């Protein structure tokens, strides 16, 4: 290998959620000396944290291997520790711009710290962020485990929500799917929608409305999340304040959980001027079950390329795929 090649990273992982750390673990154990750019915390308008959406999840009960559950931030810390154990280098910066090569030469990446680095293989694991309402009270409870969540499948079965009145904000298929899921645990599930008709498909609407504990509140928006102190000294959601979009009238709806289901935005803004293929929603498009994108040596894993499942376990599995795909790709070219 030439001096020029030896100064190039074999693998750079962009992002630090379950997919990014899993990719790093597999790549490090394969002696690929991966470098993970974990990103920096920011508001956009909701919190975006290194470690991904699990950093906003207080209790993870559906990830295998943790029979008593585990806090999301603790899980991500363990992922990071495992990656570092095998020699992963961690950099607390964002990758802000990518120049992907099409001729087999290394890819060039620009960091938020002003550095320029090169890598033979790049694994994009930047995830997708939930779209929030943008209320201060909403963010406060979402970041402290106070009963506000953007994933019913992740959190809805927790003991704190069982046999309690809950609400889902939204009107599309995702909102209907999450609300229907919650009817299995909640005493009542309200769907709060700002218009007088839902955007969801007819079959999804009927599936929800056919549940005995389901109700839609039409022409309503959430303008505040009300809370009360809990036994641990924190704050828990007690009600949502609604405003009628027709009359302007305010009312309070007592609920113990609010699930925001108004979509997700893939973290691909910094990639939009590259030749990567995206689907119509902005997710990186993978045309096969492989993690290989349309650009040689560039791989994608986790929620940044998965608009359907958005689970920690599926993201981790995709991170494993990406590392193995990158290892094989490097080996085929004599770079490993």
**How far lies 295's CA from each of 62, 107, 124, 195, 198, in Å?**
34, 10, 12, 42, 39
CA 182 – CA 102 distance, rounded (Å): 47
Q: Which residue has the tokens 């997710």?
A: 283
Residue 155 catalytic? Answer: yes
The catalytically annotated residue of 155, 303, 306, 325 is: 155
* 312 half-sphere exposure, CB direction, 13 A CA radius: 29
* 156 half-sphere exposure, CB direction, 13 A CA radius: 25
CA 214 – CA 197 distance, rounded (Å): 16
Residue 306 catalytic? Answer: no
Residue 151 catalytic? Answer: yes
The catalytically annotated residue of 154, 167, 225, 320 is: 154
CA 244 – CA 193 distance, rounded (Å): 10
The catalytically annotated residue of 94, 98, 151, 303 is: 151
Beta strand segments in the chain, E: 9-14, 35-37, 42-43, 47-48, 89-91, 95-99, 107-111, 116-124, 128-130, 148-149, 165-169, 188-192, 214-217, 220-229, 235-244, 250-254, 257-260, 264-266, 298-300
Cβ contacts of 152 within 8 Å, gap of 6 or more:
168, 178, 179, 181, 182, 259, 261
Q: Which residues are identified as catalytic?
A: 151, 154-155
């Amino acid at each position: 290998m030439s001096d020029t090649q030896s100064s190039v990273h074999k693998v750079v992982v962009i992002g630090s959620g379950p997919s990014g750390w899993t990719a790093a673990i597999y790549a490090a154990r394969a002696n690929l000396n991966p470098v993970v750019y974990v990103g920096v915390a920011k508001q956009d308008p909701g919190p975006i944290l290194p470690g991904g959406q699990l950093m906003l999840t207080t209790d993870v009960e559906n990830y295998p291997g943790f029979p008593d559950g585990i806090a999301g931030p603790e899980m991500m810390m363990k992922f990071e520790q495992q990656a570092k154990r095998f020699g992963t280098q961690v950099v607390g910066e964002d990758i802000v711009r990518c120049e992907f090569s099409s001729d087999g030469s290394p890819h060039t990446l620009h960091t938020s710290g002003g550095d320029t680095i090169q890598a033979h293989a790049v694994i994009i694991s930047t995830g997708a962020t939930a779209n929030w309402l943008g209320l201060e009270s909403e963010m406060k409870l979402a970041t402290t485990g106070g009963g506000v969540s953007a994933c019913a499948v992740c959190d809805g079965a927790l003991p704190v929500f069982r046999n309690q009145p809950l609400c889902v904000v939204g009107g599309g298929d995702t909102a209907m799917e999450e609300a229907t899921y919650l009817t299995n645990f909640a005493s009542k599930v309200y769907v709060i929608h700002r218009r007088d008709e839902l955007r969801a498909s007819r079959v999804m609407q009927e599936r929800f409305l056919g549940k005995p504990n389901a109700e839609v509140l039409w022409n309503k928006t959430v303008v505040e999340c009300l809370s009360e102190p809990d036994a641990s000294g924190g704050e828990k959601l007690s009600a949502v304040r609604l405003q009628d979009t027709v009359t302007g009238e305010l009312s309070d709806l007592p609920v113990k959980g609010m699930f925001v289901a108004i979509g997700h935005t893939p973290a691909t803004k910094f990639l939009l001027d590259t030749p990567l293929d995206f689907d119509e929603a902005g997710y990186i498009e993978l045309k096969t079950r492989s993690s290989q994108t349309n650009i040689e040596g560039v791989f994608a894993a986790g929620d940044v390329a998965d608009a359907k499942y958005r689970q920690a376990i599926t993201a981790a599995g995709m991170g494993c795929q990406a590392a193995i795909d990158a290892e094989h790709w490097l080996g085929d070219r004599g770079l490993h």
